[in-house]
Amino acid sequence: MSALQALQGYESSSSESEELNLDDVDNHSKSENAVQDQKDGKRPALPSVPSEILGMFDMSSNVAEGKSNASSHGGRIRSFEHVAGNWATLVYIPVELTEQLKIIMEDLLSLMPSSVDMEPVPDLHISLSRTVTLQYQWIDPFVDSIRQRLASFGGFTYCFDNVEFYANDEKTRSFIGLKANHGHQEMLNLVKIIDVCLQEFSLPVYYEKPSFHVSFGWCLGDYQTFLGDSDMTRIQRECRKLCRASLPLSVSEIWCKVGCKQFRIPLGMGR
């Protein structure tokens, strides 16, 4: 299958929010990630918080509701409107930028055609959820639910062994990412547990067939318009050579980022 066919029309993280910088990187979700009606009774019966209090915790620099000004975000376009009291939320594995991984990423970016203005991604991570929105009063219960369910989930290792190209749903941004095959099953098991927590709060679960990857470069536009099959095949071939001797990376914790808040969730604490 060609690299062109490997395009993932999934999520991640293009639902942009000033409160969640990681979301500016590789999320490809649409406005369907908005919080669903709470009347289904699935959420814990906690008291509501007055709008005046919620407003105190609204960290968005975009005061007015609606789409953000693309010119102030490098041409990036917010995929869902800012709503006061809703916090963009993402669960992910942080990726340590080792010297070896840095060399691989730099070499792969250098192989891109000169006509492609690919920007490096500063915050490296592997998404384990879509970008969803939580109301302020649900933040702690949501994080606690994940913490409890992962208390007996042990750490593991993974390796990157291929490169893939992705685009967000709107085809406004494209990404180059390293894909992890070794460690895929462990990440899939993590997602299944996190999905249960998301369902508790009536939030959308992750994608049925996720591609676990770290995006390390992005550019505006749809990559299919400026990268041909030959370009992608050449880059993939070089990636396989570069990753052949790469060392495995360890996962001992995951993170949940909610707006400007970050929650560290260690794995296997209940063992």
Query: Active-site positions?
Result: 125, 213
CA–CA gap between residue 145 and residue 143 (Å, rounded) = 5
List the one residue out of 259, 262, 270 whose CA is nearest residue 92.
Answer: 262
- In 7-113, alpha helices (H): 51-56, 99-110
**Is the alpha carbon torsion for 166, 142, 31, 206 positive or negative?**
positive
Tokens encoding 254: 């995951």
> Is residue 10 classed exposed, middle or buried when 0-12, 13-18 and 19+ CB atoms within 10 A define those classes?
buried
Counted residue by residue, the chain has a size of 271
Whether residue 212 contacts residue 54, with contact meaning beta carbons closer than 8 Å, is answered with no
Tokens encoding 34: 């908005």
List the one residue out of 267, 263, 264, 260 whose CA is nearest residue 18.
Answer: 260
